[in-house]
Structure 1
């Protein structure tokens, strides 16, 4: 007899400014549903972790001289800073916090419910160590609004800019959780991402499928070395990470 899939049990349901967000438990795993759309769960997490790895590997590749031994980030005077767009179930944050190479690690999350589920709820089992790491902080705001803000201070200095942006707030540039999120992938949104990056910084965007149109948008926005990496997952077709570099 075939095994019956476990039923989903709703643990919390919140109505917020962006719609409904739900935390469900299915067997041993948790899943987040936003406005009726499956966002992510704790059954694997491979692609969320590899999103961070891809950004760090891309930074290393840019740092490596073509005719000299590579000097890794951890051997330099400063460690690279990371912005993670979307807390989700916490795999990307936990991965980054487990890597000593990163310096400052910032997560931008717009849903207070998701933050609560990590700080004092079931998802703490994934993010507990990261949230006690002094390098890590959570900013409660909309990522689209955050990248629109001007990070250049009154004296012309860069404030709150990063060496890498790892964005995972949708199922991809062509499949957004809310209509407003499409602004992140627009020319204005990508210009905001560019401003949040330091020269030579890496933009990494998770997607459930490749998007040639988004690759074109990245090039049109002025990013260099645009490429797409496949991430093999246990279920179905591979996930992908879109990678691009802010010109130095």
Structure 2
């Protein structure tokens, strides 16, 4: 078997190492000993975009905010599902992840970051949420393993009552707030409802072949 090769690593503010690994044509991003994402498993990340796009059907020029660049699966799916009038801002806090997207993992991104509909923001997605007022048609978050701030303690604020209130205000009426997670979280579902969202829970396979682990996607609608 081909051994894993460590391509790069960065120590995050909480002291945990984020590293990029490669084995042949397979890539893995790991936080310590936990695998956050793997290039062979893109199904639920693509579903994060596709499920939201279905609910935006009919909007000529939707504005989409994606939190978390990852391996590009969500932004690529959003570009494929939305029309030429869409605009997509991708916020990524960790500069090294941006460098990996433009360097060793460029083949996975297939030029999607050069699409004129895409703007890459290197910074905190929470700041973009807090400064918007009815500005986004959809906000898609995949910045952690779920609403628990695993990769960065500061991410907890995104999923708190105040963070969800900010997301509600940042969305246009009828807008979608969608969150990816590796597992269900009933308490988070309740927080979304208390923030005024109409909530759907969507268990989704990690693999595009509809096999393997199930992840959770929340679709939270701001009523019109």
TM beyond 0.5 = yes
Unaligned residue ranges in structure 1 (runs of 5+): 61-71, 153-157
State the match for 1:92 in structure 2.
Answer: 74
Structure with the greater relative contact order (CA < 8 A, sep ≥ 6): 1 or 2? 2
Asked whether 1:30 is paired with 2:27, we answer yes
Q: 1:184-206: CA deviations, max 9, x gaps?
A: 11011111211221111001111
TM superposition shift of 1:17: 4.0
For 1:171-186, what aligned pairs fall within 5 Å after superposition?
171-174=145-148, 176-186=150-160
Q: Residues 14 and 153 of structure 2 are in contact (CA less than 8 Å); yes or no, is this contact kept in structure 1?
A: no
Q: Residues 179 and 217 of structure 2 are in contact (CA less than 8 Å); yes or no, is this contact kept in structure 1?
A: yes
Asked whether 1:147 is paired with 2:129, we answer yes
Q: 1:184/1:35 Cα in 2 relative to 1: closer, same or farther (>3 Å)?
A: farther
State the match for 2:106 in structure 1.
Answer: 124
Secondary structure of 2:111's counterpart equals helix
State the match for 2:41 in structure 1.
Answer: 44
Provide the aligned C-alpha RMSD in A: 1.9
State the match for 2:202 in structure 1.
Answer: 229
Give the count of matched residue pairs: 219
The partner residue of 1:53 within 50, 64, 82 is 50
Q: Residues 118 and 128 of structure 1 are in contact (CA less than 8 Å); yes or no, is this contact kept in structure 2?
A: no
Larger Rg: 1
Output the TM-score relative to the length of structure 2. Answer: 0.89
Of 91-100 and 38-47, more deviation after overlay is shown by 91-100
Q: Residues 180 and 218 of structure 2 are in contact (CA less than 8 Å); yes or no, is this contact kept in structure 1?
A: yes
Asked whether 1:13 is paired with 2:14, we answer no
Output the TM-score relative to the length of structure 1. Answer: 0.81
Asked whether 1:244 is paired with 2:217, we answer no
Q: 1:49-91: CA deviations, max 9, x gaps?
A: 111001111233xxxxxxxxxxx33xxxx32111111000111
Distance 1:11 1:199 in 2: 44
Unaligned residue ranges in structure 2 (runs of 5+): none
Asked whether 1:212 is paired with 2:158, we answer no
Q: Residues 164 and 204 of structure 1 are in contact (CA less than 8 Å); yes or no, is this contact kept in structure 2?
A: yes
Q: 1:16/1:229 Cα in 2 relative to 1: closer, same or farther (>3 Å)?
A: closer
